[in-house]
């Protein structure tokens, strides 16, 4: 299942990259997506060079889609890694996204793009693919997991808007 998101932002790509490399940004985004879960975050490298951000948190049972709760009563450990290439001459950069749910037959892989549109404008876009490893139930599991992935992307967007002092984005 493909999930896409794209936001045009009134800030330069270098500014947004600096936010995306901030561990506190990711802790706040996870807290938003999960009603307060605490995340462990580690960052390697820093803008304008290549950098990667590894985030781990536990998604508790109330945060899980209803269809998954009975199978995972204690919650799920989630590991996400966003790896960004070195910025280009205009501040643009590409990256990859991986999200694994430990013990669940679901993972997310995708690409990220931070495209500069001048010194005070950029676009942040993700194209992700949500996959289940259970052949006969894949579509059902993917549909059940998709809202949680969308919520995580929305929470990151909302935290980014807050860091840039923008009004909340419509859903």
Asked if residue 114 is part of any domain, the answer here is yes
Count up the domains in the chain and report the number: 1
Instruction: Look at residue 12 in the predicted model and tell me its pLDDT.
Output: 96
pTM of the model: 0.89
Mean pLDDT calculated for residue range 8-19: 95
pLDDT tens digits along 20-62: 999 999 999 999 988 888 999 999 999 999 999 999 998 776 6
pLDDT tens digits along 77-121: 889 999 999 999 999 999 999 999 887 788 999 999 999 999 999
Question: How far, in whole angstroms, is CA 162 from its chain's centroid?
Answer: 16
Asked if residue 169 is part of any domain, the answer here is no
112-128 residues labelled b (16+ CB within 10 A) or e (exposed) = bebbbbeeeebbbebeb
Instruction: Look at residue 103 in the predicted model and tell me its pLDDT.
Output: 77
Question: What CATH number has the domain bearing residue 105?
Answer: 3.30.530.20
Q: Is the pLDDT of residue 69 over 70?
A: no
Instruction: Look at residue 20 in the predicted model and tell me its pLDDT.
Output: 97
Asked if residue 87 is part of any domain, the answer here is yes
Asked if residue 140 is part of any domain, the answer here is yes
Instruction: Look at residue 88 in the predicted model and tell me its pLDDT.
Output: 95
Instruction: Look at residue 102 in the predicted model and tell me its pLDDT.
Output: 83
Asked if residue 117 is part of any domain, the answer here is yes
Asked if residue 168 is part of any domain, the answer here is no
**What is the domain range of residue 154?**
2-163
Asked if residue 130 is part of any domain, the answer here is yes
Asked if residue 170 is part of any domain, the answer here is no
Instruction: Look at residue 58 in the predicted model and tell me its pLDDT.
Output: 85
User: Cα dist. 91→10, 31, 85, 94, 150 in Å?
Assistant: 14, 29, 11, 10, 27
Instruction: Look at residue 44 in the predicted model and tell me its pLDDT.
Output: 98
Instruction: Look at residue 37 in the predicted model and tell me its pLDDT.
Output: 86
Q: Is the pLDDT of residue 161 over 90?
A: yes
């Amino acid at each position: 299942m493909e999930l896409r998101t794209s936001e045009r932002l009134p800030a330069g790509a270098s500014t947004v990259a600096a936010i995306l490399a901030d561990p506190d940004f990711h802790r706040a985004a996870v807290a938003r997506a999960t009603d307060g879960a605490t995340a462990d975050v580690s960052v390697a490298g820093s803008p304008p060079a290549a950098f990667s951000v590894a985030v781990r948190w536990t998604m508790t049972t109330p945060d899980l889609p209803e269809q998954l709760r009975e199978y995972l009563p204690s919650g799920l450990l989630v590991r996400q890694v966003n790896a960004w290439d070195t910025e280009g001459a205009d501040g643009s950069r590409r990256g990859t996204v991986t999200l694994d749910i430990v013990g669940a037959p679901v993972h997310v892989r995708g690409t990220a793009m931070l495209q500069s549109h001048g010194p005070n404008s950029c676009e942040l876009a993700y194209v992700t693919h949500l996959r289940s490893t259970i052949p006969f139930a894949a579509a059902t599991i993917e549909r059940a997991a998709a809202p949680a992935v969308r919520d995580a992307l929305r929470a990151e967007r909302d935290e980014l808007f807050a860091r840039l002092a923008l009004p909340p984005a419509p859903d």
